[in-house]
Structure 1
Amino acid sequence: MSINWTGVFPAVTTKFTANDELDFNAFNINLEAQLEAGVDGIILCGSLGEASVLTEEEKLDLLSHTLKEVNGRVPVLLNIGESTTKKAVDVAIKAKQLGADGLMLLPPLRYYSDVEETLAFFSAVAESTDLPIMIYNNPVDYKIEVTLDMFEYLARYSNIQAVKESTRDISNITRMINRFGDRFKIFTGVDPIAMECLVMGADGWVAGLVDAFPKETVAIFRLVKQNRIAEALTIYRWFLPVLELDIKPKLVQYIKLAEVATGIGTEAVRAPRLAIKGAERESVLKIINDALAVRPQLPEGSWGI
């Protein structure tokens, strides 16, 4: 499957049982809610998917399971976040063998590679596969920025096709478009500035709170792209306090709590993460419940398959 790089691509959470095993039943409930809302792709094993605490076997099992459940309805991408080039290449090859439609690719983890090292890392993965690749550019959390000059170099690889733009600098979207036109499709990756990025020309949204609120997320995207800005803005203003949970250190726990509140998820996380409690829990629940109390009615045709 070639990827049409546009729309809402949820970075889905990974579900766990009480015995700390993959919970495919709970995962399926959320996955179907995403597809019913009309999302355009699925991204597995990102930061929100707790990739850092998953074994390789679990990641590949989750990929195989998702591909079977989705059954070609939308592209399924596997995130690659590895510490070594050798391992990143190995995961890319295995993802291709299992039938993944594409990859999202982080710079090397743990070691803060310089420009030459980062480009060599990306190049090695791109040369190892023909799968379409989205580069994940998030210097805020991962400390390595993929600059415009670096994208100039990466443009030689036809399968490097998109970027998850998470620099939190909205003007970077304009810089990318001015320099590269539509060579790289741009996805906003920061929920609380998503609408602003879409208005500035982003092609899509790698979303987090979509895991709990898929219909609202899809509606904002579609309304913006239909130039129905006022309608999108009404939903976005309602959504913003919840979207801001996406940029907190405990975003996984917070978003999973929101999934429980909307009936399409579970709260279980894998240690060292722990479920939130006490005043912190009450504070997050208040944000979620305040939003649910005034959940807006969505314009007809703004979501759904």
Structure 2
Amino acid sequence: MSGLSGLESWLQNNEKGCLRERESVGGGCINDTGVVRTDKGESFFLKHNRNAHESMFECEAKSLKIMADTDAIRIPRAYYYDDHCLLLEYLEPGKRKDNYWELFGQQLAAMHRHTAPEFGLDFATFCGTTLQPNSWIRDGYHFFAAQRLMMQGKLAHEQGYLKRGDMEQLERICHRLPSLVPEQPASLVHGDLWSGNAHTGPEGEPVLIDPALYFGWREAELGMTALFGGFPEAFYQAYDEAWPLETGWRERLPLYNLYHLLNHLNLFGGGYLSQVCGVLRRF
């Protein structure tokens, strides 16, 4: 646990004790993660990365606080962060409630009802290790085109994954967004909501972790839930009952997921290229 002197000082200054043991927890591919315990019997969840972007853990801590302030869904509290680590409330997973997915759908809809007059956020966030720009803009189509699709597309082009013809297809999609996507308010969205970021709390309740936060289209949030296998149908039904969705929302999900597929292409390589090109051709 070298390089954690700032954390150790915080624990002692807040009478939490000294670090005594650490139990590694898998599931992430970016940070070292684990449960840490002190000599006073306190338990916390620790994320540690000596090569992290200097603002990554600060952004995550601020994002968790914003989501928690909605009182819509359970969010772990962030206690301490610096350039290399983030100390969180440890929510030991319990047995999922029988209505976990229904509750999740209802609570996510409640969080999405927290809206802003413009799209974006006061600070940039991270989707994986990719810096995600969030400059405020009133036009949601322009926001999604410029700060989501074209931003990722340009990165993929610079790395040699996308050719000129692919970029032209992407630009045409951006111009067509107003005819492809219904108008939606700027909702507070988690931003990276796949199954790995849907945690279960001590009482079996839904918990959101690892946000890529911003105010954006709520349908785009549902798109990410469907990208890697999808959530159970009970989740979508409960969401739709809590805040009805526009007709045809399922058919639009691959369009929203083009952003995440491009991000995975840029982060993990050409294995995602065929999926990206498939969406480009479709729309």
**Bin for the TM-score computed over the shorter chain:** under 0.3
Q: Name which structure has the greater RCO, CA cutoff 8 Å, separation 6+.
A: 1
TM-score, structure 1 length as denominator?
A: 0.24
More helix by share: 1
Which of the two has higher C-alpha Rg?
Answer: 2
TM-score, normalised by the number of residues in structure 2: 0.26
